Amino acid sequence: DAGVTQSPTHLIKTRGQHVTLRCSPISGHKSVSWYQQVLGQGPQFIFQYYEKEERGRGNFPDRFSARQFPNYSSELNVNALLLGDSALYLCASSLPSNYGYTFGSGTRLTVV
């Protein structure tokens, strides 16, 4: 079985640009969450989607947005990129009532 897949694996963007990151959950998983991991810190929660609806949002500015598609894949969008947005962005999928969060390998975003 394929795990959680994220694309692209690496990305370099310029300040002020926009970026879209993609995530495909494990087959059968309907919940997708996004996390930001800045170098030297633990992952921080950004969004959770379940059944295509936003179910949770972390303390991130409105420049961050996400959506979930009918096939349960998800996109994370970040507008007006700042140097501080440079991080590893992790996607996790899960089954309800299982508490088993499976993470992808992440997208390494560098803003220059």
Binding site for another protein (CB under 8 A): 4, 6, 31, 33, 35, 40-45, 48, 50-51, 55-56, 58, 90, 92, 94, 96-106, 108
Our CB check for another protein shows the closer of 17 and 27 to be 27
Record the tokens describing residue 89, joined without a space. 């962005």
Quote the radius of gyration of the chain (alpha carbons, Å).
13
Rounded to a whole number of angstroms, the minimum distance from the CB of residue 20 to another protein is 19
Rounded to a whole number of angstroms, the minimum distance from the CB of residue 12 to another protein is 15
Our CB check for another protein shows the closer of 34 and 78 to be 34
Our CB check for another protein shows the closer of 16 and 96 to be 96
Rounded to a whole number of angstroms, the minimum distance from the CB of residue 103 to another protein is 4
Strands (E), the chain: 5-7, 10-13, 19-24, 31-37, 44-50, 53-57, 64-68, 74-78, 87-94, 102-103, 107-111
Our CB check for another protein shows the closer of 19 and 33 to be 33
Looking at the DSSP bridge assignments, the partners of residue 23 are 6, 74
Q: Cβ of 24: how many Cβ atoms within 10 Å?
A: 21
